């Protein structure tokens, strides 16, 4: 199918529903001209159109500038479905439930850290296991796991692995209501128990950064971000537990008479939200999300320990405080204004970040007057960003923004194009120290296998969805 794309703004393109009778609504993609040229070469636009065919969709099927091909939904996709008449789709959340980002600030400058940077990275690499099948240093039993699935970060606070401030600065306060551990399979549990507190593989990473530039001083001050200071960014999710939850429910939906089967792509198999199987999936998905929040929090705890051990400084001098921890693979029940009416919807964000501006009741108390931090990782050779949502995000994208740079090359293409030795050498020339679980992942995650995050962020800023707060550059990287 030849896809018709119409430019309707400086950073906005429409895929009109008139080009395919199955589409119930338009597709909208936010990008600049350069990014759209490459997006057109990717089947993700067809996936935006496919999502627009699903029952109960409210508003357009949306793609962010970091959009690329995914399972069912594109990665970088957003779609909202009517709470009473719409669906939930595991493919619209993704296999890595609550894959997300945590940002830690510090009181250190690069001059403070540089003499011991390699030691700190090496110690983090030791304390935070990474790679496929990695096992964590935190020993938990089945009762602990059950509590994690039900309580989220509250479990970590009670165990001394998180502070009250950490909880205050985690999306949903680190605990998704409606989580139901009873609907998480024993296989998912068995995969999760040894992996808690681990980074994982693929595009998951832990990065020591320096705040290169602050563009919005007032908001940066409220976030605790200061130019020239060291920050730490963590990108991972619910590991094998979340993957197994997705696998279990996709299999069940493919076998269930309650599933919505009249879809253009089998990977979009869904269930009406009010059905029993949909509610069971929602309970399991929220439980997996709680696991993801705790997984990142235990990594935060290990990072703090690594800095204390190597820098020989007390916690109060290091200032390793959370800025925010958020999910970018999730489905959430929210209220939005649509065509002048307040509508209750289930918003799927797959490779997309909630970007609620000031005033939304969902914002944590710490950020109610500013809007919450929107954390956008780039690649290990360039930059990452902190943004804040604008009121335009509510009218344009159900309060959503991009989630990262977005892949441009497949992993196999990246591996054949960028030998690990070349990547490591180029990073060294930039003053970036890398520890990776394998040479293969170094090639797969080569910087130029990703889109230019500067262009991605400029696109959501230009579209009036988010405002740029600060730009962070990497100096030390741990890759799964």
DSSP state letters, 243-306: HHHHHHHHHHHHH-TTEE---SSGGG-EEETTSHHHHHHHHHHHHHHHHHHHHHHHHHHHHHHH
> Would you say 337 is a known binding-site residue?
no
> Would you say 361 is a known binding-site residue?
no
> Would you say 321 is a known binding-site residue?
no
DSSP state letters, 85-109: T-EE-GGGT-SSTT-EEEEEEEEEE
> Would you say 202 is a known binding-site residue?
no
Give the contacts of 219 (CB within 8 A, at least 6 positions apart): 370, 371, 388, 467, 469
CB 13 within 8 A of CB 49: no
Q: Which two tokens stand for residue 452?
A: 């230019």
Q: Which two tokens stand for residue 204?
A: 């998951």
> Which residue numbers are catalytic?
403
> Would you say 273 is a known binding-site residue?
no
> Would you say 68 is a known binding-site residue?
no
> Would you say 73 is a known binding-site residue?
no
> Would you say 452 is a known binding-site residue?
no
> What is the total residue count of the chain?
480
Burial class (CB in 10 A: 0-12, 13-18, 19+), 255: exposed
Q: Which two tokens stand for residue 87?
A: 């669906």
> Would you say 207 is a known binding-site residue?
yes
What is the Cα–Cα distance from 285 to 96, expressed in whole angstroms?
10
> Would you say 390 is a known binding-site residue?
no
> Would you say 45 is a known binding-site residue?
no
Residue in 368, 406, 381 with CA at minimum distance from that of residue 474: 381
Using DSSP bridges, classify how beta strands 229-236 and 466-479 pair: parallel, antiparallel or unpaired.
Answer: unpaired
> Would you say 379 is a known binding-site residue?
yes
> Would you say 77 is a known binding-site residue?
no
According to DSSP, the residues that pair with 333 across neighbouring strands are 346
DSSP state letters, 348-404: EEES-EE---TT-TTS-GGGTTT--EEEE---TTS-EEEEEE-HHHHHHHSSEE--S
> Would you say 183 is a known binding-site residue?
no
Calculate the alpha carbon distances from 478 to 47, 157, 244 in Å: 32, 26, 25
Report CA 325 to chain centroid distance, whole Å: 10
> Would you say 403 is a known binding-site residue?
yes
> Would you say 404 is a known binding-site residue?
yes
Residue 431 is classified by DSSP as: T
Q: Phi and psi for 77 in degrees, rounded to 5?
A: -105, 145
Residue 138 is classified by DSSP as: -
Helices 142-151 and 276-311, axial angle in degrees (round to 10): 110
> Would you say 92 is a known binding-site residue?
no
Residue numbering of the annotated binding site for GMP: 203-207, 328-329, 377-380, 384, 403-406, 479
Residue numbering of the annotated binding site for Mn(2+): 96, 204, 235, 328
Residue numbering of the annotated binding site: 96, 203-207, 235, 328-329, 377-380, 384, 403-406, 479
């Amino acid at each position: 199918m030849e896809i018709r794309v119409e430019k309707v703004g400086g950073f906005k393109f429409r895929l009109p529903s008139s080009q395919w009778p199955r589409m119930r609504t338009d597709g909208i993609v936010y990008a600049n001209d350069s990014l759209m040229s490459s997006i057109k070469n990717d089947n993700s636009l067809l996936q935006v159109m496919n999502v627009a065919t699903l029952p109960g969709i409210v508003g357009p099927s949306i793609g962010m500038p970091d959009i690329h091909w995914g399972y069912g939904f594109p990665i970088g996709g957003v779609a909202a479905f009517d709470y009473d008449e719409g669906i939930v789709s595991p493919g619209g959340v993704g296999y890595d439930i609550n894959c997300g980002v945590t940002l830690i600030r510090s009181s250190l400058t690069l001059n403070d850290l540089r003499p011991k940077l390699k030691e700190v990275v090496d110690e983090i690499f030791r304390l935070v296991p990474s790679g496929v099948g990695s096992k964590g240093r935190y020993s938990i039993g089945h009762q602990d796991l059950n509590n994690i699935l039900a309580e989220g970060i509250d479990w970590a606070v009670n165990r001394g692995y998180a502070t009250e401030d950490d909880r205050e600065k985690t999306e949903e306060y680190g605990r998704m209501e409606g989580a139901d551990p009873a609907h998480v399979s024993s296989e998912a549990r068995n995969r999760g128990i040894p992996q808690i507190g681990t980074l994982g593989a693929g595009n998951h990473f832990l990065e020591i950064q320096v705040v290169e530039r602050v563009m919005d001083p007032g908001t940066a001050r409220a976030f605790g971000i200061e130019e020239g200071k060291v920050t730490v960014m963590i990108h991972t999710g619910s590991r094998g537990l979340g993957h197994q939850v997705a696998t279990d429910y996709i299999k069940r939906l493919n076998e269930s008479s309650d599933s919505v089967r009249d879809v253009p792509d089998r990977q979009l198999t869904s269930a009406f939200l009010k059905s029993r199987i949909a509610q069971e999936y929602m309970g399991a998905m929220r439980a997996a999300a709680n696991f993801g929040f705790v997984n990142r929090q235990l990594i935060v705890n290990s990072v703090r320990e690594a800095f204390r051990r190597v820098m020989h400084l007390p916690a109060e001098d290091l200032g390793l405080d959370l800025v925010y921890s958020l999910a970018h693979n999730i489905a959430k029940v929210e209220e939005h204004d649509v065509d002048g009416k307040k509508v209750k919807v289930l918003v799927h964000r797959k490779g997309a970040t909630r970007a609620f501006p000031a005033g939304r009741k969902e914002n944590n108390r710490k950020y109610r007057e500013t809007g919450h931090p929107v954390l956008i990782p780039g690649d290990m050779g360039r930059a990452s960003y902190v943004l804040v949502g604008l009121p335009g995000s509510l009218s344009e994208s159900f309060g959503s923004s991009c989630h990262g740079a977005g892949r441009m090359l497949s992993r196999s293409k990246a591996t054949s194009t960028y030998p690990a030795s070349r990547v490591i050498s180029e990073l060294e020339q930039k003053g970036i120290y890398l520890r990776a679980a394998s040479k293969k992942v170094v090639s797969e995650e080569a910087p130029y296998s990703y889109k230019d995050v500067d262009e991605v962020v400029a696109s959501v800023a230009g579209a009036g969805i988010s405002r740029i707060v600060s730009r962070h550059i990497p100096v030390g990287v741990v890759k799964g």
